[in-house]
Structures are given as C-alpha cells and as structure tokens.
Amino acid sequence: MKKLFLLTLSLVVAAGVYAQVSVEFWHAMTGKNGEMVQSVCDKFNASQKDYKVVPVYKGSYSDTMNAGIAAFRAKQAPAIIQVYEVGTATMMAAKGAIKPVYQLMAENNAKFDPKVYIPTVTSYYSTSDGKMLSMPFNSSTAVMYYNKDAFRKAGLNPDKPPVTWPEFFDAARKLKASGMEGGFTTNWISWIQLENFSAWHNVPFGTKSNGFDGLDTELVFNSPLHVRHFENLYKLAKEGVFIYGGRENKANPLFISQRVGLHFESIGGYGSMKANCKFDFGVARLPYYPDVPGAPQNSIIGGASLWVFNGKSPAEYKAVTAFFTFISQPEIQAYWHQNTGYLPITNAAYELTKKQGYYKDNPGLEVAIGQLLNKPPTKNSMGIRFGNFNIIREIEDQVWEDILADKISVKDGLDRMVREGNAKLREFERLYK
Amino acid sequence: MAKQYEIKAKWLPYFLVLPQMIIVFIFFFWPSAQAILQSFYLQDPFGGKTIFVGLSNYIALFTNPDSDYLYSFTISIVFALSITFLSMTVSLFLAVQAHKKIKFTTFYKTMLTWPYAVATLVAGVIWLFMFNPNVGVIAWILKHRFGIPWDYLLNFQHAFILLTLAASWKQLAYNFVFFMAGLQSVPETLVEAAIIDGASSIRRFWQIIFGLLAPTTFYLLVMNLVFGFFETFPIVHGITAGGPGKSTSILVYKVWRDGVVNLDLGGSSAQSVILMILVIGLTVLQFRFIERRITY
C-alpha cells in the first residue's frame, strides 16, 4: 500500500514537473506569412519544453480583433492576440483587458531592454514616456515602387527615381506621355498620403503628438501643405495621370499590369511584387516637398503588434514572456524579416541580415529600413494614436472618393474628413475619459 | 370526418413546443433584447465601460448631417425596388419562354435554375471579376471597344448598375422556379377556351395566365423586396464595400460595418433595432396579404 502511494505520488510530481504550459496565440496571417507564424512558433516550441505556443488563425484583422473582444467578454480570451495598428488606441484604452508588455517583462524578470528595438517601430506601440505596451510583430512602412523598364522607355533614369514631389509628378506625366495608360496610383490613401506624408514632412497629423499625449487630441491634416498635396493629386487625376485603384491595397493590379509606372504600397507587399511583376522594378523612398523645412523626417510603420490579455495565470505569463524574448532574438527576427518582407524590430536583426548579404538581392527592404531610421522620430513621426481610427480611415476613404468624383472640393473634403474624424475622437474621449 | 384527439395532460403541448421556444429565445429574443439595451449606451467594446446615452444613438442617426442614414435608407429602398423589378420581369419572360413546347426545355430549365446554387458572396465576386475597372474583362471591353469610361470605383451610377445586375442575376433562378411552377398550374383548358374565343397570344397572357399567376407574383414580390433589402449584404461587401464614398452603403451593410469593423456597438445596435422594426412591419404585411390570398 505504501509502495503504491509512493508510486502515485512520484507520478503526480513527475506529471507536475513535465506539465507543459500551453498558451494560445490568435493571429490574422494568411498564405506565406501564416506559414511563417507557424514556423516561428514551432521553433519556439522545439527550443524548450516548458511552454507551448499554439498559433490559431482567426480570419482578417478585424475578425481577429472581434474574436478577441468576444472571447474576453466570455472570459475565454487567448494569452496573445495580434491586433492591427488601427486597433492600437482601442486596445490601450481597454484598461483591465490587457497587460502591458513592459509590465509583463518586469514581473517575470525578463532581460528586456527597449533600446535594442528600432525606435520608430517601438514608439508606435509605446506610451509617450517610452513604456512598451504591445510587442511589435509584423511591421511595414510605405514606400514608392517604380517600373524601371517603363522609366527607360519614357527616357527617365531608372537608377534615379524621383526624390521630390515635383520631380515625381513630372516623371508620372512623362510615363503617361510615353504610352502608359496613366502615370501613378496609390494604395492606402490615409496611411500613405496622409499619415506617412505628415510624418515624412514632420508636420502633425493630429494635435497632442498625434494623440500620444491625450485623448483630447484633434486631427489637423487640413493644413495648407496637406491641401496642396491633395490638390496636386486631384489635378493629376483629372489629367488622367493619377488612376484611382480602390481602397486598401486594391490599386496593386494597376502597377503589376503596367498600366501605371509608379505606385505607393507597403514594403510588406515587396514579396508579392517580386512574384507578380514581369518587369524590372525598384523601390525608393517616399517623395517630399523640398520647400518644407525638416523634410524628409522618417516614415511611420503599419502592420500589427501582439497584445497580452489580462487575467491569465502566472505560468501562462511566464510562457508569453519566454515567447516574446525568443522572437526578439536577432536570428529569429532576421528569419522572419527575410521570409515575410516585414521589417525587423531590432537593430541587431537588421545588422545580421546585412551581414548575411540578404539586401544585395533585396535592396527594396533596406530602402524601407533606411527610411524608418532616416532621423530619430519626433512627436510628429513617432506614430499615430487615435481612438475609433478605423472609422476615421473609412471617412477619409469615402471623402477622397467624393473628391475624385467632383462631389466636393479638395479643401472642403479635407475639412470634412477632419470635422467628421474629430467627432469620432470626441466620442472616444467621452467613453474613456 | 377526421377524428380529433384531445390531449389530456395540460402540460404536454407546452412541453412539445419547448425545444422550439428555447431556440427562438436563445437566437432571437435574447440577442434582440441585447440590441435594444445596447442601443441606449455608448460602450467600450471590451465591456469595461458603458455610459447611458438615452436616445442619442438614434437621434444621431437621423439628425447628424454626417451620418447619411436617411440617404442609406433611400438607397436601400431604391436598390430593393430595382432588383425586384429587374429580376421578376426577366425571370417571368424566361419562364414563359421555357414553358413553351420547344426542344431542350429540360436543359434550359436546368441552366436557368443553376445560379440559385451559387452563394451570394460568390455571385458578387464573379461579377466583380468581370467588371473591375483594373482587371475585369467586360470592363476592358466597355472601355476599349465601346469607349465607355467604366469606373464603378468612382462613378455611383456604374456602381449601382453593377450591384443591381449582380443581385438580380442571383435572384433570377429563384423567381424562375416559382414562375415555372405557377405556369404549370394554369389549366390548359382555360387557355384553349381563350384560343377558341379568338384571343391573341398577348391577350391570352395578360388576361388569363398573368391573372392566374397573381398569387405567385405577389409572393415573389415580397420575397424579392426582402432579398433586395436584407440579403444583398454579401454582394455589396464583395463588390463596392459601400463606395464610391458612401453612395452604396445600404442599411444592412452599414449596420455590419459600424458594429463589426468599426466597433461602434451603440450606433450599430440602434440601426439593428430600426431594421428589426422594419422586418416586423414587412412580416405583418406579408401575413395579412398572403394569408388572405388574392381573389380573382
């Protein structure tokens, strides 16, 4: 009897020692990127045997976020959830629902130095005094793509892409004159032509450091510089040089099918461009207006970060901490960066990739990193943080289409975006004040 | 005479309807009550903070000039009417043609019934691929062969026409099946009698066949309006996403967008309560008229 008891006891203890802590990680990555999420988790699970991270695909970014919200309300939340950049303010404001990453790291005594991260990446997900709230995961930035073959045909230098907006518009007109259907198009009107545009020119997109310093922030992207830029875009649309391709990233086919020779898209789309473009293309920095003092500054990121839900057990938090430490290692970051096209989040991963000679074949990725690191971020270029930001971007999309369809003038249109957007910011402020 | 059984136990009928009532309660009454409740609040999506705002979610829909809710209402009605008219006339025409004694009728009937098996979202995507100004085949032909500057991304008329065509095509098969069944139940003798009386084929159609089809037509009218109003969400979602601007943001699309994507739970709940009232109204109407039947 005693023997049996001892045997049982030892089994229980052994089970306790080897019980693996398993945590769920909900994400929105599909295709190659989805495989890479799985692969990174597999590497983590194989690297040790105390913890297991289980990646679960939950649909689009908004589906994933909704699934997380519903699960949290039902007290079934996963430990880790991937949330797109527009959801950042909503996640931050949801006090009690999330556990800030800096706090998680401190509680678990993890070696955590925020300085090893690329500042423009971490600032987007940190408080204004530098406390990191979520773990940067897949980060990208907006760049210019140009068709080198079309440049040659139009008598432009394929090794000297336009640097300023006046040069850019000139090149676009020449491309159209050379026989293309149009000159240029763009994805993500808000993210590229307003948010990144503002950061790149070091002008505010909103007050209070673009929302970092308080909920009483207001949008201010109807300044003379913004109006001037949009009037230029509008004018070129009327000349047939700018072709509108749709919301989000729906303009890609115009560039891939060579109907335009210049395009703005996320660097995250670099891999797909390489796979689909049957011509020689290059990646260059965003253009700027040379008369704006301080331009170019640095561009801001897009993509998503990993948030940790509140109310998990200490063992689960240990698992999350170990996972975050693991994915921050230069080797893993470099692996992720090189296989997805998303930017590395640490300087060491960038240096490692450079040393491996990866950028020789993929110069576009280095252009994007250079653009992010161009200057240390200012309060206009740390990122943007606005509540209800999804609706605000939608308003911008809608009004931009109304501008192009001549339903509203450029100036009135930008004023309307700001007015409607501010009303949404006030709703958010009222709720979370 | 049929024998009637009397149930002795008082509780048995209640017990028998219980499963159904539980389902209705869980999937209809409970969410509806939640929606009504939420429509009076401004709410943090995580459920952390809620502020009672009274009717202001409703008032904002109708008085805020930026909300464009009344426009959304109008466009939804126009859209539903257009789909109903287009798909019913075309399917009636096709049904009458297929009803004639011609070769390959079975083949025609099968082909015409086919689109019914296509999911609404898939239907939207098929039309999207044909008409997308950047990649679509028909868009290309319109532009390069006919010189029509086809661009539904920025042109409201184009967007509206495309949505109406796609939705009507989707609904065509459903109408066709019902009209076909209706036509088959028209007594041959009546038509033959009319022929003997010397009525022309057009007159025979309008005065006899169309009259006898009235109950089917009325039923389809209601079903098509309901489809156009409430079930066209996937088509709008797949093709225009409410654009250009907000011009094709119909009620069911807007309610989803505001609630699920934009996380405005209060505003979205207020909209769904309004939709619920509409559905109740339509159902009452349908029952009153369809139950009575049309007499002729």
How near does any CA of chain B get to the CA of A299, in Å?
Answer: 26
Question: What burial class does residue A426 get, using C-beta atoms within 10 Å of its C-beta: 0-12 exposed, 13-18 middle, 19+ buried?
Answer: middle
Query: Whole-angstrom Cα distance, residue A384 to residue A208?
Result: 10
Q: Give one DSSP letter per residue of chain B, joined into a string.
A: -PPPPPP--TTHHHHHHHHHHHHHIIIIIHHHHHHHHHTTEEE-TTSS-EEE-TTHHHHHHHH-TTT-HHHHHHHHHHHHHHHHHHHHHHHHHHHHHHHSS-TTHHHHHHHHHGGGGS-HHHHHHHHHHHH-TTT-HHHHHHHHTS-----TTT-HHHHHHHHHHHHHHHHHHHHHHHHHHHHHTS-HHHHHHHHHTT--HHHHIIIIIHHHTHHHHHHHHHHHHHHHHHS-HHHHHHHTTT-STTTT--HHHHHHIIIIIS--HHHHHHHHHHHHHHHHHHHHHHHHHHHH----
Structural domain includes residue B21? no
B296: pLDDT strictly greater than 50: no
A109-148, pLDDT tens digit by residue?
888 787 888 888 888 999 878 889 999 999 999 999 999 9
- Chain-chain contact of A405 with B244 (C-beta, under 8 angstroms): yes
Lowest pLDDT segment from A194-203, B27-36, B46-55, B267-276: B46-55
* Lookup result for tokens 């072709």: A243
Phi, psi of B242 (to 5 degrees): 90, -10
B62 lies in some domain: no
The verdict on a CB contact (< 8 Å) between A244 and B154 is yes
Under the banding of pLDDT at 50, 70 and 90, the label for residue B125 is confident
User: B48 in a domain, yes or no?
Assistant: no
Q: Which residue has the higher pLDDT, A160 or B5?
A: A160
Mean pLDDT within A368-374: 93
Residue type, B167: A
Q: Which of A76, A184, A242, A401 to mutate to test the interface with B (most CBs of B within 10 A)?
A: A401
Residue B176, domain member (yes or no): yes
pLDDT at position B292? 60
d(CA B48, CA A311): 14
Mean pLDDT of A178-197: 96
Pair A410, A231: CB distance under 8 Å: yes
- Domains plus CATH for chain A? 18-139+301-372 (3.40.190.10), 141-300+377-432 (3.40.190.10)
Domains contained in chain B, number:
1
Inter-residue contact A299 to A199 (CB < 8 Å): yes
Q: Do A398 and B246 touch (CB under 8 A)?
A: yes
| Closest-CA distance of chain B to residue A140, Å | 22
* Burial of residue A366, with CB atoms counted within 10 A of its CB: 0-12 exposed, 13-18 middle, 19 or more buried: middle
What does the pLDDT read at residue A10?
Answer: 54
B66, B260, B263 member nearest A420 (Cβ): B66
pLDDT value of position A79: 96
Q: Which residue is listed with tokens 């790149």?
A: A200
Q: Two tokens at A263?
A: 């395009």
Is B50 among the domain residues? no
Nearest partner of A191 among A91, A284, A124, A274, judged by Cα: A124
CATH number, domain at B225? 1.10.3720.10
Query: A237: which chain B residues are within 8 Å (Cβ-Cβ)?
Result: none
Instruction: Give the residue from B68, B153, B240, B264 with the most A CB atoms within 10 Å of its CB, the best one to mutate.
Output: B153
Whether the per-residue pLDDT at B294 is higher than 60: the answer is no
- Burial of residue B131 (CB within 10 Å: 0-12, 13-18, 19+) is buried
Looking at residue B199, what is its pLDDT?
Answer: 84
Q: Please indicate, yes or no, if residue B17 is contained in any of the structural domains.
A: no
ipTM field: 0.85
Question: Of A274-283, B48-57, B147-156, which has the strongest mean pLDDT?
Answer: A274-283
Q: Whole-angstrom Cα distance, residue A372 to residue B76? A: 45
Give the Cβ contact number of residue B209 at 10 Å.
Answer: 19
End-to-end CA distance of chain B: 30
Q: From the CA atom positions of chain B, what is the Rg in Å? A: 24
Across chain A, mean pLDDT equals 91
Distances (CA, A) of A379 to A47, A201, B87, B173, B247: 40, 12, 57, 59, 37
CB within 8 Å: A69 and B245 = no
Q: Is residue B270 part of a domain?
A: no
Can you tell me the mean pLDDT for B167-180? 92
Q: Are A375 and A297 in contact (CB under 8 A)?
A: yes
The reply to whether residue B45 touches residue A254, judged by beta carbons under 8 angstroms, is no
Closest by CA position to A176, among listed A279, A283, A262: A262
Lowest mean pLDDT across A46-50, A348-352, B109-113, B273-277: B109-113
- Name beta bridge partners: B19: none
Tally of residues, chain B: 296
Domain coverage including residue B75: 69-248
pLDDT number for residue A187? 95
Under a CB-based contact definition with an 8 Å cutoff, are residues A133 and A100 in contact? yes
What's the average model confidence in pLDDT over B73-94?
95
Q: How far apart are CA A34 and CA A51, in angstroms?
A: 21
As a whole number, mean pLDDT of residues B235-260 equals 91
Strands A21-27 and A51-57, sheet pairing: parallel
Strands A262-266 and A184-186: what pairing?
parallel
In this complex, the residue of A62, A69, A423 whose CB is nearest that of residue B46 is A69
Highest mean pLDDT among A127-131, A389-393, B129-133, B149-153: A389-393
- Look-up of token digits 């109310």: A311
Q: Which residues of A touch B (CB under 8 A)?
A: 62, 66, 69, 72-73, 90, 93-97, 244-247, 250-251, 253-254, 257, 259, 388, 390-391, 394, 397-399, 401-402, 404-405, 407, 416, 419-420, 423, 427, 430-432
**pLDDT tens-place string over residues B38-76:** 999 998 888 878 899 999 999 989 988 888 899 999 999
- What HEC string does chain A produce? CHHHHHHHHHHHHHHHHHCCEEEEEEECCCHHHHHHHHHHHHHHHHHCCCEEEEEEECCCHHHHHHHHHHHHHCCCCCCEEEEEHHHHHHHHHCCCCEECHHHHHHHCCCCCCHHHECHHHHHHCECCCCCECCEEEEEEEEEEEEEHHHHHHCCCCCCCCCCEHHHHHHHHHHHHHCCCCCCEEECCHHHHHHHHHHHHCCCCCEHHHHCCCCCCCCECCCCHHHHHHHHHHHHHHHCCCECCCCCCCCCHHHHHCCCCCEEEEEHHHHHHHHHHCCCCEEEECCCECCCCCCCCCCCCEEEEEEEEECCCCHHHHHHHHHHHHHHCCHHHHHHHHHHHCCECCEHHHHHHHHHCCHHHHCHHHHHHHHHHCCCCCCCCCCCCCCCCHHHHHHHHHHHHHHHHCCCCCHHHHHHHHHHHHHHHHHHHHHHHC
On the question of pLDDT at A13 being above 70, the answer is no
The identity of residue A240, as a single letter, is G
Contact at 8 Å (CB) between A327 and A40? yes
Average pLDDT, chain B: 88
Task: Please indicate, yes or no, if residue B15 is contained in any of the structural domains.
Answer: no
Q: Which of A100, A78, A86, A98 is nearest to A27 (CA)?
A: A78
Cα–Cα distance, A115 to A263 (Å, whole number): 34
pLDDT of residue A149: 97
A78 pLDDT tier (thresholds 50, 70, 90): very high
Between chains, do B42 and A257 touch, taking CB under 8 Å as contact? no
Residue A8's pLDDT band (cuts 50, 70, 90): low
pLDDT for the residue numbered B119: 84
Which residue, among B237, B263, B264, B265, would best test binding to A if mutated, counting the most A CBs under 10 Å from its CB?
A: B263
Burial class of residue A2, CB neighbours in 10 A (0-12, 13-18, 19+)? exposed
Residue B57 sits at the vertex; the CA angle it makes with B53 and B63, to the nearest 5 degrees, is 125
Q: Are B46 and A72 in contact (CB under 8 A)?
A: yes
Token pair 């040069």: residue: A167
